[in-house]
Structures are given as structure tokens and as C-alpha cells.
Structure 1
Amino acid sequence: MTEQLTDYDSPWKEVIELYFPRFLEFFFTQAYAEIDWTRPYEFLDTELQQLEPNAEIGRRLVDKVAKVWLLDGEEAWVLVHVEVQGQYDSQFAERMYTYNYRLFDRHKKRVISLAVLADEQANWRPSSYSYQLGGCRVSLEFPVAKLLDYEQGWEILEQTTNPFGVIVMAHLKTKATQRNPENRLQWKLSLVRRLYERGYSREDIRELFRFIDWIMVLPKELALSFKTKVRSYEEADRMRYVTSIERLAKEEGIVENARESIITVLETRFGEVPSSIVEVINKIEEPSVLKMLHKSAIAIPSIAEFQQVLDSLTSGE
């Protein structure tokens, strides 16, 4: 198991869209209090491409743009950045400023810029960007939520019924158990039990289970143990909300088909595929990684370059 193969951005994008008001309520109470939640909000992710059309979209940052209505009746924009991979980025504050002013320039509406940082450097807390020249000064200050801070306030996460309590716990424990799959299994089981105990709705249990299962990747043998334990919880409590075994079985079929597709494309384009490549592909469990490799297999010029892509993804294993 390797941290490089953990998909952080897709789960975060999904839960922010699913629980957007609860996201702001948990991390950014002032912004939450100024929005009129009786009126519909709308996500406009195509705006991101228009804000920075020539940028290569990486896998470290989750950007979301939502159009909302304020309590004073004015339309506004909420621009959310989540540094999901948790790495120091010297350009982060400047990017916050750039996206803010470009969004304002395009729509002439006020913009709320917010940032969630998942890095492990306690002192890295970018919250403003500014420069001055010739007597002219421009600046932006933006609220920041640091996930690392919640390690010191774990009881807050345990006590809240806001879905982002469980979400933050899952994210932090995924990072903390990077090299300890047995410990990750125990935390994953504990968080799933918490879903049943906190009184969440059936739909919330399903969605939060999906996030936990998606982000807390386990080696194959431990994943089987996890399924067995979850099934016993469900049967004991007569609460088959998650339907995890059936869903996971379906996902396993998707993973197997994705592996076969990659190998077939490579064989079609380059002839016999080295057994070392086949072995590595067959060990990958994450659909998002397999999807990326499938695209590479279709477009990459040579099997040697495909090997380099594969090595870059699995070098931490």
C-alpha cells in the first residue's frame, strides 16, 4: 500500500458537493452565516477552466466554485480550495488571489475565497497575498481551516454530528496509517461503526461509508477482512444501509475489467507486455489510478515510457 495511490481529490470533491452547507458550517462559520440557505446554490466547475484555461489540472488540489445568495439579497460566489495531498505550495496564496480577482472580473460579483489545508507542516498557514509597487498596494486575506489542528481537538470530531467530523477523522487517519495497514483497518472499522452509532440517516450512512471506503485503501487481504466485519455489523444491527458487500463486489469487477483493458491496449499497440508490468497493474486496486493508466496506454509513444509512468505511481510501494 502506498500513499501515492490514495485518491484524495475525487472523494473530497464529491462530499463538498453533497454536503456543501454542512461543509461551510463546519469549517467556515462566518461564510455560512452570511448565505441565504433557503435559496438554491449552484456549482459551476466550468468556471475553473475559464479562470485558468492553460493550467494543467493536478491531483493535489480540489477547487470548487458555487454561486450562492447572501442574506442581503445579493448574488455572490464561493471559491473553495482544498489542498488535499497535504504538501507545501509556495504559490498557494498567489493562486488564491488570482482566482479571486479573475472570478470578480468575469462576473462583477463579490467572491468568498476559502482554503482547507491538509498538509503536515504546522507553521504553514497561508492566509493572505499582497504586493505593493510605486505607492500602489493590492491584497487578499482569506479564511483557512487546517486539518492538522483537529488532531489536538479530536473530541470535537467525535462529538459532532456534522458529516465533516467523520470526514476529517477519515482523512487524518488515512495519512497517519500510511505505513501501517493493520492500524488503518482498525480505524476504518471504528469509523464505520461510528456511522451506525451517531444516528445518521440511511442516505448519509451510505455516502459517508463511500468516502471512508474510498479514501482508506487497504491491501487485498485486509480489504476482505474489512468486508467480513462490516457485514457482521450490518447483520447484527439489522441495518443493511450500506449494502457494502454487494457494492464492493461490483467495484471489484470494475477494477478487474480495468486491469484487463490496460493490458489489452498495451498488447495491441506494443506486442508482448513484460510480465513485470502486468504484475504491477494487477496489484492496483484504485479505479481512478487504473483509469489514468488506461488513458496513458492509449496515447503513450512507447512501452518504456509507460513503464516510467507506472514507476512514478508505485515507487512508494
Structure 2
Amino acid sequence: MSELTKRSVPFKKSDELLKAIFEENFPDFLRFMYPEADTMFDFEKGLTFMDKELLEIMPDRERKKGRRIADLLVKVYLKDGTQKWILAHTEIEGGNDDGFPYRMFQYHYRLLDRYRVPVETIAVFTGGQTQGRPGEYGYFVFGTSLTFRYLTYQIFDHQEDELLVMDNIFAYIVLACQKALSENKIAEEELAEQRSTIARALIETNKYSKDRIMSFLVFLKSFLFIRDKDLNSNFDQYIYQVTGGTIQMGVIETIKRQEREKGLQTGLEKGMQTGLEKGKADGKREEAIAIALEFKKMGLPIADIAKGTGLSIEEVEKL
């Protein structure tokens, strides 16, 4: 039996990781989706993320499987002077759901009704090449008709060679999503090489700050998860070499520091207070366990994970 056959199924992809990297790179996401983004949007005025407001318009989590945290609602200012701001609603969809177009319409009309401003709706499909990508909802009845169309992007709309030359960090996020679908289907050595290719492409752009690069590498190493310690050590050394020693990893140490400073402050204080504490109050203990697994995978201290999730140290150690 080959090593590939023996290897167990990798950890389920974390919605939290994907949502966080979208948020951090949202201006570049807009540049990726709209070639004229810098003449359309006034990025100097900043972005306002409206997670709380998005949840309020969908009471009782009226969503597929009752838990969808990868949706984004962002207030974006315009430059044309005709509208002060619009709401850019983005949903990240990994599966095939017949009710998806209607749900997008629901979001749209509820946002429009509540805020009375234009709503730009974007759906990003992160499944395989055969994944459906519905971009329209409508109906016709006697003399009445309705057609609602929204912008869609599927991660295989661009091939690897196209993404690698785009000089946009979001293109590398898309490529990481493509490669993540290969987990458990190819040898870890091949996945590790693909991970290094993505890292090198970003570093060689010479466009992003060291902090942006470090944050992306944290995402990349966690999202394209490899169990082999030697391969991870090689990745750490590779990053050190291609950056001329300016990024002294190990990436694992960086993950611990950045996730402690950023993840615990945002993920544990915000996500766990809103999601985990509510989830536990509702008896959803499995949510606490799932997120504890993700943080444990990232190498966070057991005591910090236990404190943030409400689990005991013994429970976290057994995961």
C-alpha cells in the first residue's frame, strides 16, 4: 500500500481561515474582480466589515446547515460622487446547493430594504471544476416577472499559469484554494512543492509588506496542511532562503506568535464570544471542539485554546 493510500483524510478546510484571508485582502479581492477598482472605489476611506449586521438580517441563522460564517458584508465607498457608499455582499460557496440563488436574492432584498442603498452581490465558488455556479434567480407568473443577477467567480475560471502572473495577492489565494482540493489525492511531497511555488510567487512580486507576506504564509501553511514534519521544516528553510534571511521563520513560531496576537484577540475575543459562547449556550459543543482542533493544528498553547473555547485542558489535549 502506498504512502498516499495510507494517509488519513486531512483536516476539514477551515471557514475561519478562508474568511480571515478574504477580509485582510479585500481591496485586492475587489481589484481582482474589477479591473478598474482603483477608479471605482475610494480605498483611502477604508472598509467597514459588517458581520453583525449580516447576521441580523438572517435571523436564527437561516442558512445552509445552520452555520455559515464565510459570508462577508462590507461597506465600500465610491469615487464617482453619485453614491456615498454601497454594500458589497460576498458569499464563499464550496458546495452545490439548489437553494443558493434564492438565498442570494434573500440577502439582497433584505439588505436593500434595511439600508436603502445599492448592494453589489458577489458569489465566489470554491469547489471543484464540475461545481455549479448559478448566477441568477428569477420567476415569471402571468404579468409579473423578476430577474436578479449577481457577479460570480469560480476558482477554476483561471488556470495556474494565469494566476501566477497576475501580481495580485488574491490570485495566490485562489491558487491555494485550487491546490487544497488535491489534498489526499496527491503525495504530500507534491503538495509541498505546490505550496512553495505559491509562496515564491508572492515573495517575488516585491509588492507587499513583510507583514502582509507573513500573514499570507501563515494562511498558506495552515490551509494547505501537510503533516510531514520534514516537509514543513524544508518549507521553513525555503522561505528563509528565498527572502534572503529577511523572514526568519520557523513559520511555526510565526504562526504561534501571530495567532496569539491576532487570532486570540480577534478569533477568540470576537469569534468565540459571538459564535462559540452562543454555540455552547445552544448546546453546540461540537463547534467548540471543531475550532479548538483548528487552533491546535496551528500550534497555539493548549491553555490559551482551553480558555478561549471553554473546553478543559484535558479535553483539548485529547483532540
Query: Which TM-score applies when normalising by structure 2?
Result: 0.71
Per the alignment, residue 198 of structure 2 pairs with 191
Q: Read off the aligned partner of 2:77 and give its amino acid letter.
A: W
Q: Does 1:41 align with 2:47?
A: yes
Name the amino acid aligned to 2:247.
Answer: R
Residue matched to 2:268 = none
> Aligned with 2:138: secondary structure?
strand
The equivalent position to 1:26 in structure 2, one of 18, 28, 32, is 32
Q: Which residue of 1 aligns with 2:20?
A: 14
Of the three residues 101, 112, 116, the one matched with 1:104 is: 112
Separation (CA, whole Å) in 1 of partners of 2:89 and 2:293 = 32
Of residues 72, 80, 87, the one that matches 1:77 is 87
Matched ranges for 1:173-212 at <5 A: 173-180=179-186, 181-199=188-206, 200-212=208-220
Between 1 and 2, higher relative CO (CA 8 Å, sep ≥ 6) is seen in 1
- Counterpart among 153, 156, 160 of residue 166 in structure 2: 160
State percent identity of aligned pairs.
25
The equivalent residue for 1:129 is: 137
Specify the SS of the correspondent of 2:254: helix
CA distance in 2, matches of 1:176, 1:118: 13
Unaligned stretches of 5+ residues in structure 1: 254-280, 299-309, 311-317
CA positional deviation for 1:235? 5.1
Give me the TM-score of the superposition, normalised by structure 1. 0.72
CA distance in 1, matches of 2:87, 2:222: 29
Pair 1:123–1:32, CA change in 2 (3 A): farther
Q: Retained in 2: the 8 A contact 1:174–1:216?
A: yes
Q: For residues 265-307 of structure 1, what are the alpha-carbon distances to aligned partners after superposition, in whole Å with 9 as ceiling and x for unaligned?
A: xxxxxxxxxxxxxxxx9xx963278979x96978xxxxxxxxx
Q: Is the 8 A contact 1:61 1:82 kept in 2?
A: no
Deviation by residue 1:59-97 (Cα, 9 ceiling, x = unmatched): 6662111112222331211101111xx211111111110
The number of residues matched between the two structures is 264
Question: What is the deviation of 1:156?
Answer: 1.7
Q: CA RMSD in A?
A: 3.3
* Change in CA separation of 1:251 and 1:42 when aligned onto 2, cut-off 3 Å: closer
Q: How far apart, in 2, do the equivalents of 1:174 and 1:156 lie?
A: 18
Secondary structure at 2:21 match in 1: helix
CA contact (8 A) 2:239 2:249 kept: no
Contact 1:174–1:215 under 8 Å retained in 2:
yes
Rounded Cα–Cα distance in structure 2 between residues aligned with 1:130 and 1:161:
37
Q: Return the offset for 1:145.
A: 0.7
Answer whether contact 1:157 1:166 (CA < 8 A) is retained: yes
Moved more, 114-123 or 90-99: 114-123
Structure 1 position 138 matched with structure 2 position 146: yes
Amino acid of the structure 1 residue aligned with 2:56: Q
Q: Which amino acid aligns with 2:165?
A: Q
Q: 1:47 to 1:121 in 2, by over 3 A?
A: same
Q: What does residue 120 of structure 1 align with?
A: 128
Instruction: Confirm whether residue 247 of structure 1 aligns to residue 247 of structure 2.
Output: no
Deviation at 1:2, TM superposition (A): 5.8
- 1:169 Cα deviation from its structure 2 partner: 1.3
When structure 1 is superposed on structure 2, of 226-235 and 19-28 the one drifting more is 226-235
Residues 149-298 of structure 1 mapped to structure 2, 5 A cutoff? 149-151=157-159, 154-180=160-186, 181-199=188-206, 200-219=208-227, 222-234=228-240, 237-240=244-247, 242-248=249-255, 286-287=294-295
- The 1:82–1:61 alpha-carbon spacing in structure 2 relative to 1, beyond 3 Å, is farther
Cα distance in 2, alignment partners of residues 7 and 239 from structure 1: 30
- Answer with 1 or 2: which has the greater Rg: 1
The secondary structure found in structure 1 opposite 2:74 is strand
Any idea what SS the aligned residue of 1:238 has? coil
